[in-house]
Amino acid sequence: MKKNKAKPEKPVKLRKRTEELLNKNPAAIKKIPPRDMRNLLEDLQIYQIELENYSNALQKAHENLIESKEQYRSFLANIPVGVFRSTPQGKLIAMNLALIRMLGYESEEEVLKIPPVNLYVDPARRKELMEQLRIKGSLTDFEIQLRHRDGSDIWAAFSIRPVEDDQRNLIYLDGIVCNITERKQAEEALQKAHGELERRVEKRTKELEIKTISLEEVNTALKVLLKKREQDKTEIGNDVLTNVKELIEPYFEKMKKTELDDRQKALLSIIESNLNEITTPFTRKISMKYLDLTPKEIQIANLIRHGNSSVKIAKLMNISPRTVDTHRKNIRKKIGLDKKKANLRSHLLSLY
């Protein structure tokens, strides 16, 4: 009876069994059947290829990682704002070139040697930063003054995010720093200009108030003077009227009782009438209302108002009646009666 031949084991199982066997007894490799040995060798070759492929993949990943680190380092070095990592106590651990240059130094090593407290103009402000970070969890544009290498002050805006471990303990502070010195200087200049403008406006306002008070005082004085002038005019008018009635009119009455011819009586009447005009506003009214009347036309208009005919006016003024009629027409035209049937004497009387 023929014995059944044992089927060869699968390569992977064979490899694992061989590894276990060799680990127990290295000399046992001589006991492996030739066919199984061939399968084992083939399996090991495949395994070697897999290891080589895996090694190549690891090498490629390592090269990509190095390239990514270089890109990240280049990005941090060239970014126009400062980037840093520090301990919660404020000691800088790492920073980019922009922050180094912002503080006025040449290398990271120089900055790392500086005590953290010396980087701040007011260390108490840094404590306030940490308190705000504790309350808010993160900070954006927290303004603080830093000390430049040359001793000058720098205005900076901090944006900070805390980094915690698995137990939520604070281990790092990652942040971005923007130099806002120029902006703060511009704000201070604007504020100064605004303050100067307010002072000028206040000064000008006070000057105007003083001038207003002065003008009010002048206005009050003018009102007093004008009132006094009106009083003086009234007094002068009363004095003139009184003098005419007391010193002149009595003599008119005496002259009327003397023997006078018609011409003398007419002239006396005109004198009396003109004297009355001095004490009445008629002449002023007619000259103001009709400024384009000539002096002779005003004189004739005055005689017409007193009821004198053209013939009588001609004798009194030593001119012809025709000339008087021409003046009458001009007067009517100038005062707007040339196309109306209104009586000239009645119209002139209405001006009194």
In a 10 Å sphere around its CB, with 0-12 CB exposed, 13-18 middle and 19+ buried, how is residue 319 labelled? middle
Percent of the chain with pLDDT over 70: 80
329 in a domain, yes or no? yes
Predicted local distance difference test score (pLDDT) of residue 43: 74
How far apart CA 70 and CA 72 sit, in angstroms, is: 5
**DSSP string of 32-87, one letter each residue:** S-HHHHHHHHHHHHHHHHHHHHHHHHHHHHHHHHHHHHHHHHHHHHH-SSEEEEE-
Task: Read off the pLDDT of residues 269-300 as tens digits, 9 standing for 90 and up.
Answer: 778 777 776 666 544 555 555 557 787 887 78
Q: Which residues pair with 158 in a beta bridge?
A: 142, 177
Residues 97 and 162 in one domain: yes
Residues 30 and 88 in one domain: no
Residues 86 and 104 in one domain: yes
How far apart CA 80 and CA 102 sit, in angstroms, is: 10
123 in a domain, yes or no? yes
Q: Where are the alpha helices (DSSP H) in the chain?
A: 11-24, 34-78, 97-102, 108-112, 123-136, 181-243, 249-256, 262-278, 282-289, 295-305, 310-317, 321-334, 344-349
Q: How many domains does the chain have?
A: 3
39 or 311, which is more confident?
311
- Average pLDDT (316-344) is 86
The last residue of one of the domains, among 24, 44, 73, is 73
Residues 31 and 122 in one domain: no
Q: How many CB atoms lie within 10 A of CB 229?
A: 10
Residues 25 and 116 in one domain: no
- Average pLDDT (15-19) is 66
Q: Are 95 and 83 in contact (CB under 8 A)?
A: yes
The last residue of one of the domains, among 73, 89, 117, is 73
211 in a domain, yes or no? no
Q: Six-digit token pair at 158?
A: 């901090």
5 or 197, which is more confident?
197
Residues 265 and 343 in one domain: yes
How many CA within 13 A on the CB side of residue 246? Answer: 6
DSSP designation for 120: B
- Average pLDDT (29-36) is 69
Predicted local distance difference test score (pLDDT) of residue 216: 86
How far apart CA 309 and CA 315 sit, in angstroms, is: 10
Q: Six-digit token pair at 274?
A: 């003109």
The CATH number of residue 134's host domain is: 3.30.450.20
Residues 109 and 151 in one domain: yes
285 in a domain, yes or no? yes
Predicted local distance difference test score (pLDDT) of residue 5: 45
Residues 66 and 115 in one domain: no
Among 115, 112, 76, 113, which Cα is nearest to 97's? 76
DSSP designation for 88: T
283 in a domain, yes or no? yes
The CATH number of residue 292's host domain is: 1.10.10
Residues 86 and 58 in one domain: no
Predicted local distance difference test score (pLDDT) of residue 282: 47
Q: Which residues pair with 47 in a beta bridge?
A: none
Q: Is the pLDDT of residue 302 over 60?
A: yes
Q: Six-digit token pair at 126?
A: 């840094």
Predicted local distance difference test score (pLDDT) of residue 64: 78
6 in a domain, yes or no? no
Among 294, 302, 297, which Cα is nearest to 278's? 302
Q: How many CB atoms lie within 10 A of CB 40?
A: 19
Residues 88 and 153 in one domain: yes
274 three-class SS: helix
pTM as predicted? 0.44
Domain that holds residue 64: 11-73
Residues 84 and 174 in one domain: yes
Q: Please report which confidence band the pLDDT of residue 7 belongs to, taking 50, 70 and 90 as the band edges.
A: very low
The last residue of one of the domains, among 116, 145, 179, is 179
Task: Read off the pLDDT of residues 241-271 as tens digits, 9 standing for 90 and up.
Answer: 667 666 677 777 777 778 777 777 777 777 8
200 in a domain, yes or no? no
How far apart CA 221 and CA 213 sit, in angstroms, is: 12
Predicted local distance difference test score (pLDDT) of residue 175: 93
Q: How many CB atoms lie within 10 A of CB 4?
A: 6
208 in a domain, yes or no? no
Residues 175 and 84 in one domain: yes
How far apart CA 111 and CA 148 sit, in angstroms, is: 11
How far apart CA 133 and CA 296 sit, in angstroms, is: 103
